[in-house]
């Protein structure tokens, strides 16, 4: 039982390049999330998917797109990377997003640098 896995662990991009961050969970969770973590700002929600087939914007969606490929996988795409997107990206999953005691479980993160 691996929990939440993310690939790649590290990535360096040049401004304007595109890339997709992959996330998968094996806990049969319905909901998945993408966050970015920046120094002194905590974690901010980029996009989330409450259930398979649905996606919604979070706090900082500009410059990103997501795909909920199936129940297990949720990818984050940067179409044209900018230095402001240098960050650590975390994927998370939870059983039922709207449940009162719903707990989110996090992956190990992807450290992205945009030059």
Query: What is the contact surface with another protein in residues (CB under 8 A)?
Result: 4, 31, 40-45, 48, 50, 56, 58-59, 90, 92, 97-98, 100-109
Residue 65 C-beta: closest distance to another protein, Å: 19
CB atoms within 10 A of CB 1: 4
- How far is it, in rounded angstroms, from Cα 60 to Cα 44? 7
The residue (of 5 and 17) whose beta carbon lies closer to another protein is 5
What sign for the dihedral angle of Cα 31, 3, 87, 38? positive
The residue (of 72 and 111) whose beta carbon lies closer to another protein is 111
Residue 107 C-beta: closest distance to another protein, Å: 5
The residue (of 107 and 114) whose beta carbon lies closer to another protein is 107
Residue 105 C-beta: closest distance to another protein, Å: 7
């Amino acid at each position: 039982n691996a929990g939440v896995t993310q690939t790649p662990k590290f990535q360096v991009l040049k401004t304007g390049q595109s890339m997709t961050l992959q996330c998968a969970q094996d806990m049969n969770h319905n909901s998945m999330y993408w966050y970015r973590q920046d120094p002194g700002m905590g974690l901010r929600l980029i996009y989330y998917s409450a259930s398979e087939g649905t996606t919604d914007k979070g706090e900082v969606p500009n410059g990103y797109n997501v795909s909920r490929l199936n129940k297990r996988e949720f990818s984050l795409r940067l179409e044209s990377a900018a230095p402001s997107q240098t960050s650590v990206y975390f994927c998370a999953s939870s059983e039922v997003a709207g449940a009162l005691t719903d707990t989110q479980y996090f992956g190990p993160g992807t450290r992205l640098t945009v030059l």
